[in-house]
Amino acid sequence: MPFNIAVLGAQWGDEGKGKIVDMLAPHVSAVARYQGGHNAGHTVYVQGRKFVLHLIPSGILHPGVTCVIGNGVVVDPEALFREVDELGRMGVAVDGRLRISEKAHVILPYHRELDVLSEARRGERKIGTTSRGIGPAYEDKIGRRGIRICDVLGDGDALAEAVRENVNARNRIIRESTLDWKPVYDDLVAFGERIRPWAADVSLLLAQMMHEGKSVMFEGAQATLLDIDHGTYPFVTSSNASVGGICTGLGVPPRAIGGVLGVAKAYTTRVGEGPLPTELDGPLADRLREGGQEYGASTGRPRRCGWFDAVVVRYSARINGLDALALTKLDVLDGLPEVPICTGYRVGGRTVTDFPADLRLLARAEPVYETMPGWTTPTKGVTRMEQLPPAARRYIERLEAASGVECALVSTGSDRAETIVRPGSVVARWFP
Ligand code: GDP
């Protein structure tokens, strides 16, 4: 079996997974997305050019790499074609390199409307979704009335029946307006024609590739703390962003996953609602937000910012079996007089070091900080550990000890080249 790795988010998303996947992509033959939809926003800079990927795996910028969208992903046809066309305009040929699971579910035009409505009905308790219809598409999947790519490509009568049933379900929820099923059906048929060459049994395709000795990288979207089961429920995404999603979302066996790399920022951010124990406000939050350009790639929303939370990353390490971390955005901390690391929470007179499930507990959790001295020499663009200021090295060491995972990669800027690969680390051993 070739060596296949997973790259996934260890915090609340936006950790810079796109950059890390793109950087490691030359070592693999395929990059496969296993969950989520076009709510993801992976920004990759290559020689000053900016590429924002939502649905298409971040391996697409490497011509020899096959990009796979698994059955665990929900596909919005319009968003998919927009992204393919945009990449085409930027000189990246997608055709012939993209494969989409015929079992993937389709996001229907009114899923977006349902998303907005559901958030409005929650009022104060809104989740802070991207309103792209992702959640409602997963609801239809679990409700067993979803429409899959193979349905779109199959028998017209069966598709018409499925669309009628799905539109009826929508009409029962949104009573203010009645939708006609026929235009939805016609659009789906047109979509099918364009997607047909890309549709595949991706489980079979990946099995064949592995059989031929070709390695695959599994790319996570969102992150562990947004996982529907292991995240801060209900302020989560609708899919399994953690490692378990790979098996169900692509049809690959657990043994196919040889290594797991967690991507974590050198601080913490989250977009949308829900708990964030180390959240800062005031000038320090602004400093991190501006320094790290913490605005959503998909929605432009400002991200909430806080110090590195080792309780969170240790939890992610356990859930995913992380072999190592790729620590990103170290450069954003340049110039701060001190950099605290959260090593536990004080809750009701007790110190907790395991991430709690109960959000009421989490809401009362007060971070316990270990404050490390900052550094003034810039780390931006540094490519070797020994070029880092000693205080930055000590910060990384303390963060590793508190999280229980080694930092195999340290990212010091948004470009591929601005990365430290630690000699002797697992990543250096995986990809000599
Ligand atoms: P993803 O969804 O996990 O891929 O993360 P995003 O793309 O939403 O956000 C990461 C952002 O941080 C992108 O704009 C990257 O170009 C940028 N980025 C990644 N690594 C670094 C780094 O080490 N330093 C800085 N300053 N920016 C980085």
Return the CATH number at 49: 3.40.440.10
From 24, 43, 226, the mutation candidate for ligand 1 (largest count of ligand atoms within 8 A of CB) is 43
Distance (angstroms) between ligand 1 centre and the Cα of 18 equals 7
User: CB of 326 closer than 6 A to ligand 1?
Assistant: no
Q: Kindly tell me the sign of the dihedral angle through the C-alpha atoms of 335, 10, 41, 174.
A: negative
pLDDT at 298: 67
Task: Please check the confidence at residue 432 and state whether its pLDDT lies above 90.
Answer: no
Boundary residue ending a domain (195, 222, 247): 195
Q: Which amino acid is at 385?
A: M
Do 273 and 341 belong together in one domain?
Answer: yes
CATH number assigned to the domain comprising residue 111: 1.10.300.10
Do 163 and 188 belong together in one domain?
Answer: yes
pLDDT at 162: 93
Beta bridge partners, 217, equal 5, 31
Residue 42 φ/ψ, nearest 5 degrees: -105, 120
* 175: confidence class by pLDDT, cuts 50, 70, 90: confident
- Tokens 């939805």 appear where? 184
CA-nearest of 327, 344, 321, 345 to 395 is 327
Say if residue 352 is exposed, middle or buried (CB neighbours under 10 Å; 0-12, 13-18, 19+).
middle
User: CB of 36 closer than 6 A to ligand 1?
Assistant: no
Question: Could you say which DSSP state residue 222 is in?
Answer: S
Active site residue 323: no
Task: Please check the confidence at residue 223 and state whether its pLDDT lies above 70.
Answer: yes
Cα 222 to Cα 41: distance, rounded to the nearest angstrom = 9
Distance (angstroms) between ligand 1 centre and the Cα of 177 equals 41
Do 379 and 290 belong together in one domain?
Answer: yes
Do 325 and 419 belong together in one domain?
Answer: yes
Catalytic residue among 22, 27, 38, 42: 42
Do 34 and 81 belong together in one domain?
Answer: yes
Number of folded domains that form the chain: 3
The ligand 1 atom at the shortest distance from the C-alpha of residue 50 is 16
Lowest-confidence region among 8-17, 50-59, 198-207: 50-59
Cα 383 to Cα 387: distance, rounded to the nearest angstrom = 8
* 203: confidence class by pLDDT, cuts 50, 70, 90: very high
The average pLDDT across 192-213 equals: 96
Which residue owns the Cα nearest ligand 1 atom 14?
43
Please give the angle made by the CA atoms of 309, 228 and 369, to the nearest 5 degrees.
10
Cα 186 to Cα 403: distance, rounded to the nearest angstrom = 52
Do 414 and 373 belong together in one domain?
Answer: yes
Sequence-ordered list of residues with C-beta below 8 angstroms from that of 133, at least 6 positions apart, any chain: 37, 76, 107, 108, 110, 111, 112, 113, 114, 115
Distance (angstroms) between ligand 1 centre and the Cα of 396 equals 18
User: CB of 19 closer than 6 A to ligand 1?
Assistant: yes
CA-nearest of 37, 65, 324, 375 to 215 is 65
Question: What's the whole-model pTM score?
Answer: 0.95
CA-nearest of 32, 14, 9 to 313 is 9
User: Which segments within 10-128 are labelled E, that is strand?
Assistant: 30-33, 42-46, 49-53, 66-69, 74-75, 98-101, 105-106
pLDDT at 1: 66
* 130: confidence class by pLDDT, cuts 50, 70, 90: confident
Active site residue 14: yes
What does the block give as tokens for 431? 């990809």
User: CB of 22 closer than 6 A to ligand 1?
Assistant: no
Give 96-122 pLDDT, tens digit per residue. Answer: 899 999 999 999 988 988 888 888 887
Cα 12 to Cα 2: distance, rounded to the nearest angstrom = 30
pLDDT at 131: 80
Q: How many residues does the chain have?
A: 432
User: CB of 113 closer than 6 A to ligand 1?
Assistant: no
Boundary residue ending a domain (172, 195, 218): 195
Please give the angle made by the CA atoms of 121, 123 and 127, to the nearest 5 degrees.
90
Distance (angstroms) between ligand 1 centre and the Cα of 251 equals 29
Cα 156 to Cα 139: distance, rounded to the nearest angstrom = 24
Do 186 and 137 belong together in one domain?
Answer: yes
pLDDT at 384: 97
Which residue owns the Cα nearest ligand 1 atom 25?
413
Helix (H, G, I), strand (E, B) or coil at 401: helix
Task: Please check the confidence at residue 302 and state whether its pLDDT lies above 80.
Answer: yes
Question: Could you say which DSSP state residue 286 is in?
Answer: H
CATH number assigned to the domain comprising residue 313: 3.90.170.10
Torsion of CA 38, 40, 41, 47, to 10 degrees: -100
- Tokens 């070091």 appear where? 353
User: CB of 17 closer than 6 A to ligand 1?
Assistant: yes
User: CB of 41 closer than 6 A to ligand 1?
Assistant: yes
Q: In percent, how much of the chain has pLDDT > 90?
A: 82
From 20, 22, 299, 328, the mutation candidate for ligand 1 (largest count of ligand atoms within 8 A of CB) is 328
Give 59-107 pLDDT, tens digit per residue. Answer: 899 989 999 999 999 999 999 999 999 999 999 989 889 999 999 999 9
Q: What range does the domain containing 298 cover?
A: 264-430
The average pLDDT across 393-417 equals: 97
Do 87 and 9 belong together in one domain?
Answer: yes
The average pLDDT across 246-251 equals: 98
The average pLDDT across 296-300 equals: 74
Torsion of CA 104, 108, 111, 113, to 10 degrees: 160
Cα 139 to Cα 131: distance, rounded to the nearest angstrom = 14
The average pLDDT across 404-419 equals: 96
Widest CA span in the chain:
68
User: CB of 222 closer than 6 A to ligand 1?
Assistant: no
Distance (angstroms) between ligand 1 centre and the Cα of 249 equals 25
Do 119 and 168 belong together in one domain?
Answer: yes
User: CB of 289 closer than 6 A to ligand 1?
Assistant: no
User: CB of 18 closer than 6 A to ligand 1?
Assistant: yes
Task: Please check the confidence at residue 344 and state whether its pLDDT lies above 90.
Answer: yes
Task: Please check the confidence at residue 15 and state whether its pLDDT lies above 90.
Answer: yes
Distance (angstroms) between ligand 1 centre and the Cα of 236 equals 21
Helix (H, G, I), strand (E, B) or coil at 15: coil
User: CB of 57 closer than 6 A to ligand 1?
Assistant: no
* 272: confidence class by pLDDT, cuts 50, 70, 90: confident
Do 218 and 150 belong together in one domain?
Answer: no
Q: Which residue has the higher pLDDT, 124 or 309?
A: 309
Q: Which residue has the higher pLDDT, 302 or 126?
A: 302
Which residue owns the Cα nearest ligand 1 atom 16?
414
Do 90 and 109 belong together in one domain?
Answer: no
Catalytic residue among 14, 22, 115, 227: 14
Which residue owns the Cα nearest ligand 1 atom 6?
14
Boundary residue ending a domain (259, 275, 309): 259
Do 284 and 391 belong together in one domain?
Answer: yes
